[in-house]
């Protein structure tokens, strides 16, 4: 199903995407993602929201070098959904991008996300190495 078709269905049916529909139409208050968030691996991020833009800093508790590494965050929010990316420092170009949704259960705010990490390879035209460049996973962040 094309992205545009799915999005039009969500926007046409508020029960399928009530927070997004309200935020897009301007009839409801969008949740505030600003603040300090920590995931299950003890990585953390500090988010600042200005309109629909996300900025901040991400500190990864896990890295290829065995210590922490940090990078700037850039992204967007729309209602209770968020997308952001981190450009990692270092000699090997790499970027991680997350997409997720804010979930509130028993008063606790959780940001459930899926992520993709792409790492540059020396020969992007080599079919055997190009698939080693993309890694995927999931993170749950708790507001601290």
| pLDDT per residue as tens digits for the range 63-122 | 777 789 999 999 999 999 999 999 999 878 899 999 999 999 888 999 999 999 999 887
94: left (phi over 0), alpha (psi -120 to 50) or beta: beta
Pick the more confident residue, 8 or 144: 144
Q: Which residue has the higher pLDDT, 67 or 48?
A: 48
Closest CA to 61 of 124, 120, 139, 123: 139
How far, in Å, CA of 144 to CA of 38, rounded? Answer: 7
Q: Say yes or no to pLDDT of 36 above 90.
A: yes
Q: Which domains does the chain have, with CATH numbers?
A: 1-30 (no CATH), 31-143 (2.40.128.30)
């Amino acid at each position: 199903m094309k992205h545009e078709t799915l999005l039009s269905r969500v926007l046409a049916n508020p029960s399928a995407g009530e927070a997004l529909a309200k935020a897009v139409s301007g009839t409801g208050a969008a949740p505030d993602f600003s603040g300090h968030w920590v995931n299950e691996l003890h990585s953390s991020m500090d988010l600042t929201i200005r309109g629909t833009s996300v900025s901040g800093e991400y500190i990864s508790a896990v890295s290829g070098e065995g210590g922490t590494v940090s990078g700037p965050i850039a992204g967007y929010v729309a209602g209770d959904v968020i997308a952001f990316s981190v450009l990692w420092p270092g000699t090997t170009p790499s970027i991680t991008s997350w997409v997720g949704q804010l979930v509130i259960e028993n008063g606790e705010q959780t940001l459930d996300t899926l992520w993709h990490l792409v790492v540059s390879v020396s020969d992007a035209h080599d079919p055997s190495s190009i698939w080693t460049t993309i890694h995927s996973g999931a993170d749950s962040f708790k507001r601290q």
